[in-house]
Amino acid sequence: MGLSHITTPHLHVPGGTQRVSLEKRHLVTGLISFPEIIRCLITEFDVTPLRPDWRDILRTGTDTIVTTIQD
Helix and strand counts by DSSP (H, E) for the chain: 2, 0
46: in domain: yes
**Would residue 38 count as lying in a domain?**
yes
pLDDT in tens, 6-27: 676 665 666 666 677 767 777 7
Integer Cα distance of 55 and 65 in angstroms: 15
Please indicate, yes or no, if residue 39 is contained in any of the structural domains: yes
- Give the type of residue at 62: T
pLDDT digits (tens, 9 = 90+) for 22-36: 677 777 677 777 888
Q: Which helix (H) or strand (E) holds 40?
A: helix 34-44
Q: Is residue 57 part of a domain?
A: yes
Can you give the residue range of the structural domain that contains 47?
34-70
pLDDT of residue 48: 95
**Collapsing DSSP states into helix, strand and coil, what is residue 13?**
coil
Read off the pTM: 0.57
